[in-house]
C-alpha cells in the first residue's frame, strides 16, 4: 500500500493528535473525543482496506503498483 493523497493523510494525523491533546487537557469531554477519534480512524482504516482489495477509493491510500 502506498500513500496516494499525502495531504489527506497529514490532515487525518494532525486531527488525531489535536483531538488527543485536547482530550488530555480536558477541553473536550471523553465521549465526544472518542467519537471523533473513531470517525477519523474508521475513515483511514476503511480506505486502507479498500486499497488492499484494489477497489477504487478516492481516499488517502492506494494499491501498490
Q: What is the pLDDT of residues 8-18, one digit of tens each?
A: 888 889 999 99
Model pTM above 0.75: no
pLDDT of residue 1: 58
62 contacts 52 by C-beta, under 8 angstroms: no
User: 29 in a domain, yes or no?
Assistant: yes
Q: Are 61 and 6 in contact (CB under 8 A)?
A: no
Residue 18 inside a domain? The answer is: yes
| Alpha carbon 22 to chain centroid, angstroms | 17
Q: What is the pLDDT of residue 65?
A: 61
Asked whether residue 62 is domain-assigned, the answer is no
Domain that holds residue 28: 7-35
In a domain, 57, yes or no: no
Q: In this structure, are residues 33 and 24 in contact, taking their beta carbons and an 8 Å threshold?
A: no
Task: Return the DSSP state at 53.
Answer: T
Residue 56 included in any domain: no
Residue 65 maps to a domain? no
Q: Quote the number of domains for the chain.
A: 1
- What are 24-60's pLDDT values in tens digits? 999 999 999 999 999 998 888 887 776 667 666 555 5
How high is the pLDDT of residue 31?
A: 93
Amino acid at each position: 500500500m502506498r500513500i496516494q493523497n499525502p495531504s489527506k493523510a497529514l490532515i487525518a494525523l494532525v486531527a488525531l493528535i489535536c483531538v488527543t491533546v485536547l482530550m488530555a487537557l480536558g477541553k473536550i469531554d471523553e465521549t465526544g473525543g472518542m467519537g471523533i477519534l473513531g470517525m477519523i480512524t474508521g475513515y483511514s482504516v476503511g480506505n486502507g482496506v479498500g486499497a488492499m482489495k484494489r477497489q477504487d477509493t478516492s481516499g488517502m491510500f492506494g494499491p501498490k503498483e
